[in-house]
Structure 1
Amino acid sequence: MGRVILVALLVCLSAAATQVRAEDPYLFFTWNVTYGTISPLGVPQKGILINGQFPGPNINSTTNNNIVLNVFNNLDEPFLLTWMGIQHRKNSWQDGVLGTNCPIPPGTNFTYHFQVKDQIGSYIYYPTTAMHRAAGGFGGLRVNSRLLIPVPYADPEDDYTVLIGDWYVKSHTALKNFLDSGRSLGRPDAVLINGKSANYKRPLFTMKPGKTYKYRICNVGLKDSLNFRIQDHPMKLVEMEGSHTVQNTYESLDVHVGQCFSVLVTADKAPKEYYMVASTRFTKTVLTGKAIIRYTNGRRGSATLKNLPEAPVGWAWSLNQFRSFRWNLTASAARPNPQGSYHYGKIPITRTIKIVNSVSRANGKLRYGINGVSHVNPVTPLKLAEYYGVANKVFKYNLIRDVPPKKQPVELNLAPNVVNQTFRNFVEIIFENHEKSLQSWHLSGYSFFAVSIEPGRWSPEKRRNYNLLDAVSRHTIQVYPKSYAAILLTFDNAGMWNLRSELTENRYLGQQLYVSVLSPARSLRDEYNLPDSALLCGIVKDLTKPLPYSI
């Protein structure tokens, strides 16, 4: 009997040891990036395809999955992809921006390897090199919750990704030439939904009567905020940019560039076809994209423009909608604890950084800047220069100050824009928009608490109006004309992280900076070493690799 018990005990211990050693699941992808002819507006143009697809493939993953994605660049110029909103804990090497990565040369490949650690939600990927985003190469990235962690709503019948965005007929090379010559891109030609124009007559999605569906709506465009609505169907907001929200119902949603929202829609109307609509906001000329949703028992061709919902007018409506967004404090996060267990409103602020965006000229050409500096990407990526100990040969830290000059300079300073940030400090960032156009900002590597958006200029007294209880944790924030936005976050993710305008023209012409977050311990507990597969370029290409971090 004792021997049987001993054997059983050894089996149990062996099983426990296997569970401890078990790694999180791996997902493997191979992507071929090529040019191809696309005609979203009926005019043939050169697009960027991934495995022959425009838009690119949807990545469907689950919390803690390891993603291994081998990208073959078959274009005639260097190429990079970024995974917007994926936090890459301790691993800015995988961020896919020119401040951290050498671009993939033509005819070669590079393997991204990252973990969607402790995240759920709806995200996008897109190219960060040249003006490639204007040609395609973008797509959706889902991170589903593990079965262990319940979501605060019943499983939908199906899960759909809706990619909305403005679009130009001109090629991405022509648009790049415009910007390089000092000209603006001008007005887009149309709004696409999943790469289709308003003239596309086939249903993009189908719904069974009585069933509820999840729609992940992401703005993958270049410059315009879009209002999204579904004919006769209200939308229940359940998630935005990795956070479960209080489940308010909306007739329409303003989705700014780079932002993603997840909504639930129930098929409880007359069985026929309905339009989903995305139209530009804050523009003199309104561009509208349409796509068809069909009930499975609905008649083909039954969609009608009658009772097509109108878009709201003015940015005050949009601001009030932002104020209605709330973090769901009782919902579980990606880990088994409630979202509201992190009391960000009780943490003392250690640093305040004010960001003022401006448009000006440099050397007679159009440029955009932050606090008087218009960012230029050096040949050697900033993170590589820092890691190899040659940062002083590539860039200077802290060209801008936390408090910008009251008057923005007429001529912007062209230089790499890198700000030092103390590891694990709790920081307040103020985005102040003095322009007449709307701004959209993204910070890679982090989620932050969007505690306030208000008209006018910021002052310390405005902190009294902050939402210090249930502001949504997210990675983008819009700033309305002549307004400011305030965010709070802990810089606890070591690496070199990109803070950028999501308006592609602005970003390309310098409206971005990098935040260097160094761990004093130089420990693997805080940051991963440079991967062996990393591409090297610039002055570090032939240098001896530094000693790796240790435990």
Structure 2
Amino acid sequence: MPLKLGGGAAAFGAFLVLCVGFSLFAVTLAEDPYRFFNWNVTYGDIYPLGVRQRGILINGQFPGPDIHSVTNDNLIINVFNSLDEPFLLSWNGIQQRRNSFEDGVLGTTCPIPPGRNFTYILQVKDQIGSFYYFPSLNFHKAAGGFGGIRILSRPRIPVPFPDPDGDYTVLIGDWYKSNHTTLKAHLDRGKKLPLPDGILINGRGPNGAYLNVEQGKTYRLRISNVGLQHSLNFRIQNHKLKLVEVEGTHSLQTTYSSLDVHVGQSYSVLVTADQPAHDYYIVVSTRFNYKILTTTGVLHYSNSGGQVSGPIPGGPTIQIDWSLNQARSIRYYKSYILLIAHLVVNAYDELNLRTNLTASGPRPNPQGSYHYGLINTTKTIILASSAGQVNRKQRYAINSVSYVAPDTPLKLADYFKISGVFRAGSISDRPYGGGIYLDTSVLQADYRSFVEIVFQNNENIVQSYHLDGYSFFVVGMDGGQWTTASRNSYNLRDAIARCTTQVYPYSWTAIYVALDNVGMWNLRSEFWARQYLGQQFYLRVYTDSTSIRDEFPVPKNALLCGKASGRHTRPL
């Protein structure tokens, strides 16, 4: 569709194109910058809820260090595993273009053995926003090992709000006093997890987390729910939250008194320190549960005249309609200036592709460089979760298949053409209503198809789903059973693009996704006990092309395990 601007907007748009275009072609073609990180993963004593626990530290830190980067940066992250068991890090929301080998989940990447290292080579291609990393094996997520990721826009791309006076990572999540090994053993015996013992803010319990602000200034808070199973509500006493970004998409700038953050989700909000100068509660509490857990932090004014006081501000508890209405209000930010800049820079990147083979071609951009609502979907996939017993042990499933991991990563088996590891099509694209069974579930999909995925939730809990390697448009959500008539309520104008979405009890959520990223990609429940016990599968986005424009070969430094052991990383 041609872009239409009126009057002064058209003149300014043309001027911007000329200015940006001139500056782009005036620079010398160069490879995108590199940022290097050296991380040592160890055990260490932590006391987040007042009792000693064996936590997982990165460079001695709990939570781990933030990754600060800029769009298109190459991140070289050398991870040394000083634990006594295998370890893997995954990157929640970082869309590895044509390179699922680096995704850091067991279906794509061999674990780092104890006493060994592995260097992740990632590129944050065409991405902005707030994300996080976490350990993906052996229920390590319950011990720590997670941290924030922020990707700033390149200087020539405008941002739809003034630069904040400060920028904070805020990691929230439920937490257990038991060590992760105890929780894992509990699940291995076929039991369900009990309720957590508390809630953490940046690894600290009640009033342990401090955010320092100066009166009159505005701050960006990058909030991620890194917990194991609970949706959380975030709020600050007497302050408003202006939403500006959702998992890599600039959002409509709506102001909220509190914000629901479901498991695995990330948001950026702006908070202005516009209240009298003393300290205020930061409050995080669980949602949709008969027992509400709450923790607090402190928003500390630099010229504070007093400590936090008064009752802790209340928030929503079990109100699903409240959360559903808030979710529907979260939409993407439309801006002609942003649109023009993205179009020009993406065109530049395509020209640069010939001299820089590390770059991907331009892809559909959630900020508006194409319109998802005008594209016909090529396939509908319906996914339904279920819970039940298999061999007298608790299991969880999608479309009745409870995922079992083989000893060889699926991506390596696919690349080296190793038989007997998985079968494409081992999970149906429709629920059939049968009992749960075990399999290594892989769903085949065609490269460059545009698909509709419906998450149908027939259980009395809020679900949360994440798709690695992609952002998708959340086009609809509602109660009851999804039917083709449900499409009449879809938002085909300004749906938010993100990588993690919630599904409310006895409800459905529908997404549109352009499958433009070849690879083996994990689609999983973000409820970590459910993921661990089978509520996940792999989406094999396939092409028979062998061009590196479609997919990179296995990295030279790749760890090889299982049936891939002894193979050459470059086939002879």
Structure 1 length-normalised TM: 0.93
> Is the CA contact (8 Å cut-off) linking 1:423 and 1:491 kept in structure 2?
yes
**Cα deviation digits, residues 329-366 of structure 1 (max 9, x gap):** 21627962481231101111111110000001111100
Say whether residues 1:138 and 2:146 are aligned partners.
yes
3-state SS of the aligned residue for 2:183? helix
Q: 1:319 corresponds to which residue?
A: 324
> Is the CA contact (8 Å cut-off) linking 2:406 and 2:440 kept in structure 1?
yes
3-state SS of the aligned residue for 1:68? strand
Say whether residues 1:509 and 2:533 are aligned partners.
yes
3-state SS of the aligned residue for 2:184? helix
3-state SS of the aligned residue for 1:133? helix
Say whether residues 1:207 and 2:213 are aligned partners.
yes
Letter in structure 1 aligned against 2:226: V
Separation in 2, partners of 1:55, 1:534? 27
Say whether residues 1:402 and 2:422 are aligned partners.
no
Separation in 1, partners of 2:83, 2:295? 29
2:333 paired residue among 307, 323, 328: 328
1:459 paired residue among 483, 492, 500: 483
2:309 paired residue among 298, 304, 309: 304
Separation in 2, partners of 1:347, 1:509? 36
Q: 1:357 corresponds to which residue?
A: 385
Q: 1:43 corresponds to which residue?
A: 51
Q: 1:473 corresponds to which residue?
A: 497
Separation in 1, partners of 2:245, 2:494? 14
Q: 2:443 corresponds to which residue?
A: 419
Say whether residues 1:384 and 2:409 are aligned partners.
no
**Cα deviation digits, residues 495-517 of structure 1 (max 9, x gap):** 11000000000000000000111
Q: 2:398 corresponds to which residue?
A: 370
How many residues end up aligned between the 2 structures? Answer: 527
**Cα deviation digits, residues 276-305 of structure 1 (max 9, x gap):** 1000001111000100011110035x1014
Q: 1:307 to 1:532 in 2, by over 3 A?
A: closer
Say whether residues 1:482 and 2:509 are aligned partners.
no
3-state SS of the aligned residue for 1:323? helix
- Taking only aligned residues, the RMSD between alpha carbons, in angstroms, comes to 1.7
Which deviates the most, 394-403 or 77-86?
Answer: 394-403
Say whether residues 1:523 and 2:529 are aligned partners.
no
Give the C-alpha shift of residue 456 in structure 1. 0.4
**Cα deviation digits, residues 10-69 of structure 1 (max 9, x gap):** xxxxx9999544211110000000000000111001000000000000111110110000
Separation in 2, partners of 1:109, 1:120? 28
Say whether residues 1:160 and 2:184 are aligned partners.
no
> Is the CA contact (8 Å cut-off) linking 1:63 and 1:334 kept in structure 2?
no
Which deviates the most, 394-403 or 372-381?
Answer: 394-403
Give the C-alpha shift of residue 531 in structure 1. 0.5
Among all aligned residue pairs of Structure 1 and Structure 2, give the percentage whose two residues are the same amino acid: 53
> Is the CA contact (8 Å cut-off) linking 1:37 and 1:44 kept in structure 2?
yes
Separation in 2, partners of 1:156, 1:227? 23
Structure 2 length-normalised TM: 0.90
3-state SS of the aligned residue for 2:121? strand
Say whether residues 1:274 and 2:280 are aligned partners.
yes
> Is the CA contact (8 Å cut-off) linking 2:219 and 2:270 kept in structure 1?
yes
> Is the CA contact (8 Å cut-off) linking 1:70 and 1:112 kept in structure 2?
yes
Letter in structure 2 aligned against 1:408: G
Give the C-alpha shift of residue 306 in structure 1. 2.7
Q: 1:164 to 1:333 in 2, by over 3 A?
A: farther
Q: 2:71 corresponds to which residue?
A: 63
Separation in 2, partners of 1:485, 1:59? 31
> Is the CA contact (8 Å cut-off) linking 1:368 and 1:510 kept in structure 2?
yes
> Is the CA contact (8 Å cut-off) linking 2:246 and 2:268 kept in structure 1?
yes
Separation in 1, partners of 2:216, 2:322? 32
Separation in 2, partners of 1:16, 1:438? 46
Letter in structure 1 aligned against 2:239: H
Letter in structure 2 aligned against 1:149: I
Separation in 2, partners of 1:383, 1:335? 36
Separation in 2, partners of 1:16, 1:264? 31
3-state SS of the aligned residue for 2:414? helix
Say whether residues 1:265 and 2:293 are aligned partners.
no
Q: 2:230 corresponds to which residue?
A: 224
> Is the CA contact (8 Å cut-off) linking 1:160 and 1:216 kept in structure 2?
yes
Separation in 1, partners of 2:117, 2:267? 32
Separation in 2, partners of 1:378, 1:443? 20
Q: 1:157 to 1:464 in 2, by over 3 A?
A: same
Q: 1:61 to 1:546 in 2, by over 3 A?
A: closer
Q: 1:187 corresponds to which residue?
A: 195
**Cα deviation digits, residues 48-104 of structure 1 (max 9, x gap):** 000000000011111011000000000000000001100011111111000000000
3-state SS of the aligned residue for 1:269? coil
Letter in structure 2 aligned against 1:140: G
Give the C-alpha shift of residue 528 in structure 1. 0.6
**Cα deviation digits, residues 177-203 of structure 1 (max 9, x gap):** 000000011100000000110153xx6
Which consecutive unaligned segments of at least 5 residues does structure 1 have? 1-14
Separation in 2, partners of 1:37, 1:198? 19
> Is the CA contact (8 Å cut-off) linking 1:355 and 1:404 kept in structure 2?
yes
> Is the CA contact (8 Å cut-off) linking 1:519 and 1:527 kept in structure 2?
no
Q: 1:224 to 1:393 in 2, by over 3 A?
A: same
Separation in 1, partners of 2:80, 2:119? 9
> Is the CA contact (8 Å cut-off) linking 1:118 and 1:334 kept in structure 2?
no
Say whether residues 1:75 and 2:83 are aligned partners.
yes
Which consecutive unaligned segments of at least 5 residues does structure 2 have? 1-22, 344-364
3-state SS of the aligned residue for 2:170? strand
> Is the CA contact (8 Å cut-off) linking 2:378 and 2:449 kept in structure 1?
yes
> Is the CA contact (8 Å cut-off) linking 2:239 and 2:257 kept in structure 1?
yes
Say whether residues 1:53 and 2:53 are aligned partners.
no
3-state SS of the aligned residue for 1:341? coil
Letter in structure 2 aligned against 1:460: T
Give the C-alpha shift of residue 313 in structure 1. 3.8
Give the C-alpha shift of residue 310 in structure 1. 2.9
